[in-house]
Chains A and B, each alone.
Chain A
Amino acid sequence: MMRLPPFTYLAPRTLGDAATALAEHGRDAMVVAGGTDLYPNMKRLQFEPKVLVGLRGIRDLRGVRGSAREGLTIGAGTTLSAVAGHPEIAARYPALATAAGLVSSPQLRNMGTLGGNVCVDTRCNYYNQSHEWRKAVGFCMKKDGDICLVAPASPRCWAVSSSDTAPVLWSLGARVRLVAASGERTVEVSALYQDDGIAYLAKQPGEILTEILLPPADGWKSAYLKLRRRGSFDFPVLGVAVALRLEGARVGEARIVLGAVASTPRPADVAAAALVGERLTPELIARVADLAAGPSKPLDNTDFTHPYRKKMTRVFVARALRALAGLDGSGRPVEEVA
């Protein structure tokens, strides 16, 4: 049986105590909420924290506050099941409910939290392996080694951003609150990530992600599509998040963000810009989908081949746009999709 290595577990009751504990233990400590990402990685010795700061006992971290009209605030400790099943999120931020509901398996979603999924470790099939396996293949720079096994000539790590909710939150213009012993700040989700498989979060080690703040939903429509081998368990190997604000029949604002094709969620800004001021015709959708595939640059370190994932970017963007435009595969109108 795979077992956890020993550690000390702290269970603070308040956010302040948690931030203090994290500051005190520095790099030896990690926070844990649902544990669905952390514990498997610890069993494989990818993470070796000496101290875990458990966030479960902090009530403030759970729950959804506010309204879609003024913007919702979701506690980072809210489970993915709760996010997926929240009526107002499902109605007004459907892409977020969809993405949360597509993470892994039902059991994982009962345990895993939205904050955990936003911060989920980048993945790579040279890295998410046991210590013995990694030793056999030769360790990589993300843990215990000094080269990238996907791109050996590269100076950086190419592990893949594998969050379902991150591209959606980015496309929705969400922000997150980060709390440290020294103070707190709020940043755009788009500023939370950086394109490096190791330092993928622009978050200080002492900062705890406490809240996800969604802007008002009025006028926005959103969709999320996920590519993976099976309908359950699997991480995304491509995620497409699209959010549009319509002004009459024309697009007022648009954001397209791609997941699982880089070490960060990757915005397709040129493609999104091409939508603005236009009607969502089949021709425009085809052109925008081509443009969106440009920033999709997957490498060979997940399930499916990377050329296939790239090729699917265009298909998925087109499908997401068609769904939001109410068009079917042949460009004919279909019934409204949430």
Chain B
Amino acid sequence: MSAERTQGGSSAGSARAIDGGRFGRGAEPPSERKHEFSVVGRPLPKIDAWTKVTGETKYADDLVLPRMAHGKLLRSPHGHALIKRIDAARARALPGVYAAVTGADLPRVKFGILPVSQDEEVLCTEKVRMVGDAVAAVAAVDEETAERACRLIDVEYEPLPALMSIEESLAHPEIRIHEYGDGPNVHKSVALQFGDVEAAFAKADLVREDVFYYEGNTHLPMEQHAAVAHAGPDGKLTLWSSTQTPHYVHRVLAKALDMPAAHVRVVATPVGGGFGGKTDPFAHEIVACHLSRLTGRPVKIALTREEVFYAHRGRHPVLMWLKTGFTRQGDITGCHIKTWLDGGAYGSYGVASTFYTGVINPVTYKMPVYKFEGARVFTNKPPCGPKRGHGTPQPRFALEVQIDKAAEQLGLDPADMRRRIAAEPFTKTANHLTVTTTGLVECIDRVVEASGWRAKWRGWRFRAPASPAQPVLGEASEGAPEGGARRSEAPSEKKRGVGLACSAYLTGAGTAIYWNDMPHSGVLLRADRSGAVTILCGATDIGQGSDSILAYLPAEVLGIAPKDVHVHPADTSLTPVDLGSYSSRVTLMCGMAAIQAAERLKTVIAKAVAGKLEVGPGELVFRDGKVGAPEEWDKAVTFARAVELAEAMHGVLAFPGSYAPPKRAGKYKGGGVGPSPCYSYTACVVELTVDEETGEVELHDVWIAHDVGRALNPLLVEGQTEGSVYMGIGEALMEGQVFRKGVHKQPSMLDYKSPTTLEMPEVHTILVETDDPEGPFGAKEAGQGPLLPVPPAIANAIYHAVGVRCDEVPIAPEMILKGLERRRQGKAARVGPEKIPVFKFKEPLVVESAFGQPAEAIAVRPFQS
């Protein structure tokens, strides 16, 4: 399909000379080599592609060990209840059952991914907080027996009222889901202010206040979570699990099982889809370990699809109030956002999620003044957490739809308006985040051009009589349609529209989950006399291709083929820690660590080869599996020979690489969430048809331009972009994690609506390269950012087609019909939330805005040399 890439680009800040430091000290090849990559930038197959297309890849549930038992969890049928009694005697008596346990059999500790939210029990002992909370577990000869045994466990509950919405939880402070937090049923409340937002509104020509709602949804990885535990006779424990964060699982296992961490090994198996859903440590992982220790057998626990819906940690439902001031020209004078997150029954990553609903918006556009208030509320539903875009798609939806509304009132082309207000490179935002490169302007230009935006936007625009509530301030950019099919030529009930939206996203969180000064990512690189290089790294491949990146980058540095690199990922006993596959951090952080280690190896090899060839180490070039001086290339030695020379001189060739992000956190409480080495930028145009009789939306084309810094492998970047578009479409039009009568309404693949091939439009991916100084060979993230602009671009296109504002997702057909009906009744054709909760945020922490301050081009980082 149509995918294109641009080099360098001419937009502001996009073209930067690459600092020689990245190529090492003293041994770097001639600087022009950076444009002659042998691996970087090439559309190579992933290194694991071959085992994936032949079915050889072993996912967690494919593992079978001798004498293995099968475990099953008994889950609560109540949303909120006290546990009065649990008796597993009948289960234990069932033939084929090896063990049946309750929370009383486990160490009495609570766990959770964030140190500040240690609120989960492995098996609930006193209270259940959601339908699906685990209360007991069985290990048996097979899965059927384990399931039968679970049904024989007697649990006596005393039901409590279940709180199923933000409003209910706030309205009933007397019913407490947890005893901790920032108020009754309030898990976390934050309030930050950067500059005087009221003064900013006073200066504005147009001030808009809008309320938006983004429904919760779930990751729905195709692979259900599974784990196999093996407690050996030596008292050591191994867990193979479908997890994105083996390091955090390692830490939690030691705590929850009260075992020395040194005796625990966690191996992340290839993950069959994650999207953030396998980023928390889960009860089934801990229980499998406990049951294995108890029975002396390996124990597998594989979740059913329904259980995956209860494990969840997906997108938070967020209600948002957004107030923004605009000048006549479209500049933003200031912005104030309030967010209410429905967190579900446990903390998970919720504190971070809460911050993320506020802190990333200022990265995209020039926002001199900014205020953010957010609150996460506990409810008796499966806990929400990080899903692709973690906390940011919701406020992104709000901001991009509001800008579309403002552009209309101001008589501006929404593409031109965004282009004008795009953030400047190498500056700080109001909330003290550092923007390095940004290709946003180029992204906008590219999608505008590729989609034929100008003609379509002017030609097809729905024109409602100007509503008195929304006076047009500027001159509407009318004008005859210049191209594209006129709407009237289509059948009368089918209306075509285009919509545009932009976004930015972080390339790795600047701080770890737990406070520490150690590397975020580490590798060990070993060269072999065979000429092979082995890289050990804690990173977890969840399909995004991190294993391949770990092969490509050393191959690039050392001039060998990716096939000559053996990658050993995600094994806590073998591999240096990588924090995990979340927050779009892996390519950048592991990549930088891998380059560092490879450069160290290269330096030693160069020294040895230089001695042999009697040239200076700086004259040597590593390429095509050889090392030599370019002018005497016939004397170049093979890489394997070079390794032998180096090993003879240096001893065993094994080098570490470490990466930690620059310390750029704002100097205020809460400043640790949001900083990132660099941010990716995206612009998206959607073209669709709305059926005015049925309200059905048909997507035709999506043009998406993504500033990825540098595409280390364009195939993988395109794949991440296309997958993000897909997930954004699902969230915009059909996916929703909704509840009724206290239970999940649709915990199945049939009823939770995931788009099929038939709903998927053609995606035209444009990769923009800005060569960021912070990234490996200039690369930024691609796994999450491209999701963000898709839902608002769809909402804006629907408005463009039929004049209905959908301030809520998912946008069901009946919502559009409701909007059309309202217009027929002479009311505003808007559907979305009508009110916000009664809630008093705490006094904001007032910090001076850092907007526009220059930011250093290259930051100092720990472990840099």
Contact = CB atoms under 8 A, between A and B. Distances in A.
Interface of A: 1-3, 125, 128-130, 132-133, 135-137, 149, 227, 229-234, 303-305, 307-308, 311-312, 315, 328-330
Contact of B77 (A129, A135, A312, A315): A135
A132 B814 contact: no
B491 A133 contact: no
B822 to A, nearest CB: 15
Contacts of B78: 136
Determine the main DSSP class of A at the interface with B: loop
Given A135-B77, A312-B694, A329-B493, A303 B814 contact: no
Contact of B756 (A233, A315, A330): A233
Contacts of A304: 812-814
Interface in B422-465: none
A231 B758 contact: yes
30 contacts: A1-B302, A2-B304, A2-B305, A125-B751, A128-B750, A135-B77, A137-B742, A137-B743, A149-B741, A229-B734, A229-B753, A230-B734, A230-B753, A230-B756, A231-B756, A231-B759, A232-B756, A233-B750, A234-B750, A303-B751, A304-B813, A305-B814, A307-B814, A308-B812, A308-B817, A311-B814, A328-B491, A329-B491, A329-B492, A329-B494
Given A308-B814, A311-B817, A230 B491 contact: no
Interface string B751-766: 1010111110000000
B694 A315 contact: yes
Contacts of B144: 3
A296 to B, nearest CB: 15
A230 B758 contact: yes
A110 to B, nearest CB: 17
Contacts of B747: 129, 133
A231 B734 CA distance: 13
Nearest to B759: A230
A227 B813 CA distance: 11
A133 B740 CA distance: 12
Contacts of B491: 328-330
B470 to A, nearest CB: 28
Contact of A133 (B306, B734, B813, B814): B306
Interface string B240-279: 0000000000000000000000000000000000000000
Given A230-B759, A304-B814, A328-B491, A315 B693 contact: yes
Counting from the closest, the 5 A-B pairs by CB-CB distance are A231-B758, A136-B77, A308-B814, A329-B491, A232-B756
Contacts, number: 82
A227 B758 CA distance: 15
Contacts of B812: 304, 308
B138 to A, nearest CB: 14
B143 A3 contact: yes
Interface in B294-336: 302, 304-306
Contacts of B304: 1-2, 130
Contacts of B219: none
A305 B695 CA distance: 13
B753 A132 contact: no
A148 to B, nearest CB: 13
B607 interface: no
B131 A136 contact: yes
B635 interface: no
A330 B748 CA distance: 40
B746 A125 contact: yes
A233 B751 CA distance: 10
Interface in B461-503: 491-494
B83 to A, nearest CB: 15
B813 A308 contact: yes
Nearest to A131: B151
B300 to A, nearest CB: 11
A137 B759 CA distance: 32
A2 B749 CA distance: 13
A320 to B, nearest CB: 13
B486 to A, nearest CB: 15
B282 to A, nearest CB: 17
Given A329-B492, A329-B493, A136 B306 contact: no
Contact of A132 (B77, B143, B759): B77
A315 B813 CA distance: 13
Nearest to A230: B756
Contacts of A234: 750, 753
A233 B753 CA distance: 10
Contact of B306 (A130, A308, A312): A130
Given A132-B306, A137-B742, A149-B741, A232 B758 contact: yes
A137 B143 contact: no
B302 A230 contact: no
B310 to A, nearest CB: 10
B75 interface: yes
Nearest to A229: B753
A160 to B, nearest CB: 13
Contacts of B757: 232
A133 B132 CA distance: 9
B745 interface: yes
Given A230-B758, A330-B492, A1 B75 contact: no
Interface string B142-182: 01100100000000000000000000000000000000000
B751 to A, nearest CB: 7
A136 B157 CA distance: 12
B668 to A, nearest CB: 44
Interface in B111-150: 131, 143-144, 147
A311 B741 CA distance: 26
A40 B304 CA distance: 14
Most buried by B among A136, A137, A315: A136
Contacts of B759: 230-231
A229 to B, nearest CB: 5
Nearest to B693: A315
A308 B821 CA distance: 13
Contacts of A328: 491
A311 B820 CA distance: 14
Contacts of B758: 230-232
A230 B755 contact: yes
Contacts of A330: 491-492
A1 B306 CA distance: 10
Interface string B681-713: 000000000000111000000000000000000
Contacts of A308: 695, 812-814, 817
Contacts of B734: 229-230
A229 B77 CA distance: 29
A129 B305 CA distance: 12
A304 B77 CA distance: 26
Contacts of A230: 734, 753, 755-756, 758-759
